[in-house]
């Protein structure tokens, strides 16, 4: 995933859930979900970094498959229901106390899911 400004990165989670090692830019959302070296690789936003990583995947398919399997397990830590609940909680709190709580509320995704 080469996006430079991805707030969360559902594509990354979908790839992990599909058992694929993730190659993603080391910025934004992927830094919250990809475990570098375990579920994939977080890379500098350069074509050289991505081409080197793709060459590594081709050269070491066993390790890439291991990362994919680890990613599949890791993706289970981010259930859709938890994501939706956090959004609902955020919106409800904002509506209930728009002026008082808007500065204190934590954006969805900033501390993971529970």
- Token reading at 95: 């509506």
Provide mean pLDDT across the span 70-91: 87
Note the pLDDT of residue 113. Answer: 45
DSSP alpha helix (H) spans, the chain: 10-17, 30-33, 47-59, 61-75, 80-96, 98-101
Assess contact for 71 and 22: CB atoms under 8 A: yes
Cα dist. 28→4, 60, 74, 95, 110 in Å? 8, 27, 18, 27, 10
- Token reading at 74: 């890791």
Q: Per-residue pLDDT for 101 more than 70?
A: no
pLDDT tens for 7-58 read 777 899 999 999 999 999 999 889 999 999 999 999 999 999 999 999 999 9
**DSSP label of 23:** E
pLDDT band at 100 (very low <50, low <70, confident <90, very high): low
Note the pLDDT of residue 3. Answer: 87
């Amino acid at each position: 995933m080469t996006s430079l400004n991805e707030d969360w990165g559902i594509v990354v989670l979908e790839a992990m859930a599909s058992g694929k090692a993730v190659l993603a830019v080391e910025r934004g959302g992927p830094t919250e979900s990809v475990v570098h070296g375990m579920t994939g690789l977080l890379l500098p936003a350069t074509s050289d970094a991505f081409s080197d990583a793709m060459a590594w995947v081709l050269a070491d398919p066993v390790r890439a498959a291991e990362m994919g399997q680890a990613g599949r397990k890791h993706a289970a830590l981010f259930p859709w229901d938890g994501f939706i609940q956090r959004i609902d909680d955020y919106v409800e709190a904002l509506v209930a106390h728009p002026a008082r709580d808007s500065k204190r509320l934590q954006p969805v995704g900033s501390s993971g899911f529970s």
